[in-house]
Amino acid sequence: MEAAVASLIAWFSLPEHGLSSIFVVAFVSATLLPLGSEPAVFGFVKLNPQLFWAAIAVATAGNTAGGVVDYWLGYGAHEALARGKETRYWKWFRALGPKAMFFAWLPGLGDPLCTVAGWLRMPFWPSVAWMAFGKLLRYLLITAALLWVPNAWWASIARLF
């Protein structure tokens, strides 16, 4: 079993497979499915430090694309449901406009924000730009911070498993 897991980890860490895997994991984690992409990005960068910027760029692109899917789901849901009064709960969101999409990186809150942006018909490209900016900063800061943790600490965590 250990050999199979080691083989799978090695396959995913290869640059030709790893970046596409990073894109898929980041994309799926940006939809309404509960999945975190930061561990995958960090693990890939830890194994391939020369691909730091490529991994950050691919993760940002995948996560932003997933957010765009959420946006269009909200946009389509608005069309599918009968038109009703806008709830007061989302008036603050509309007041912020596309800048609110900067917070699309927040765990648990960001994915629904993308959907609500589509529901409220916020301008698409400004929303995507703010979404990408927030997601880029998240990947950059979290991955860089995790890389500063000494290897001995990660080795002690790995020994637990």
Q: pLDDT of 12-70, one tens digit each?
A: 555 566 888 899 999 999 986 778 899 999 989 998 899 999 999 999 999 999 999 99
Angle (deg, nearest 10), helices 38-47 and 2-13: 80
What is the per-residue pLDDT for 72?
A: 92
Q: Which of 82-91, 94-103, 132-141 has the lowest mean pLDDT?
A: 82-91
* C-alpha–C-alpha distance, residues 135 and 149, integer Å: 22
